Amino acid sequence: MEGESVVMEKMELPQCAKCPVERSEKACRDKNGKAPRFCPTRQLTELVAKSQKPYEDVHIREFARQASIQEGECYINREARPPVLHPVIPRLQEVCEFAGKMGYKRLGLAYCIGLQGEAAALTTVLEAHGFSVVSVVCKVGCTPKEEIGLTEKEKVRPGQFESMCSPITQAEVLNEAQVDFNIIMGLCVGHDSLFFKYAQAPTTVFAVKDRVLGHNPLAALYTLGSYYERLIKKPKS
């Protein structure tokens, strides 16, 4: 992206994903740790300090505090030395427990119509935990795809009427219902981005859509050395 900030001009762009430092020795985990040249922890100290300011707001601070308490509670035997990670709480339970900690009563569920059964199941679980659930499907409003300029050949089923995915409407319906917290499930890439942009309540992701890999996009990364090698290697011409 063009138009880098003045701060970024003076350093290499952050590349944490390429950090060669061993996990326990990283500067972001140990104040005296090691850091490569492109390290944002070492290079952007002013920005790091400024980005802590929002936590002075009691609501933001409490949200972050409860999220981190929940993070810790997802493991057992935390006192063991040497430490051994032993996670025991699946995300389904994690969402319920975090929403409970925050005292939320009404939850919004924005989901993809392709996951109708999963949305019903998730609603059953959330209700069993005492939450009131407002759910809105992606096709809400039945707005034709032509409204955003799609041509027939750009539809999933050319030649037929198709409702567009309406993440902004999903967000606005949930805003109107004054939900305390949103959960999204299976929204398409980009549609999820618009939901985040327009939703007023904080939002978590229960599951992302992956039409091929059973909604587990990481599977493609786990098999990058074999079945998905084509995504990093150009075909020979």
- 28 belongs to the binding site for ligand SF4 (CB under 6 A): yes
Q: Could you tell me which stretch among 37-45, 151-159, 171-179, 220-228 binds ligand SF4 (CB under 6 A)?
A: 37-45
Q: How far is the CB of 48 from ligand SF4 (least distance, A)?
A: 10
Q: Could you tell me which stretch among 23-31, 102-110, 143-151, 219-227 binds ligand SF4 (CB under 6 A)?
A: 23-31
- Specify whether the CB–CB gap between 144 and 162 falls below 8 A: yes
Question: What is the CB neighbour count within 10 angstroms for residue 227?
Answer: 11
| Distant-in-sequence, close-in-space partners of 200: CB < 8 Å, separation ≥ 6 | 171, 175
Helix (H, G, I), strand (E, B) or coil at 233: coil
CA distance 95 to 171: 19
Question: What is the CB neighbour count within 10 angstroms for residue 199?
Answer: 22
Residues numbered 39-68 forming contacts with ligand SF4, rule: CB under 6 A = 39-41
- 209 belongs to the binding site for ligand SF4 (CB under 6 A): no
- Specify whether the CB–CB gap between 86 and 77 falls below 8 A: yes
- 35 belongs to the binding site for ligand SF4 (CB under 6 A): yes
- 204 belongs to the binding site for ligand SF4 (CB under 6 A): no
- The size of the interface with ligand SF4 (CB under 6 A), counted in residues, is 11
Two tokens at 69?
């308490």
Q: How far is the CB of 86 from ligand SF4 (least distance, A)?
A: 24
- Specify whether the CB–CB gap between 102 and 180 falls below 8 A: yes
Q: Could you tell me which stretch among 14-22, 86-94, 102-110, 176-184 binds ligand SF4 (CB under 6 A)?
A: 14-22
- 102 belongs to the binding site for ligand SF4 (CB under 6 A): no
DSSP label at residue 16 = G
Contact set with ligand SF4 (CB under 6 A): 16, 19, 21, 26-28, 35-36, 39-41
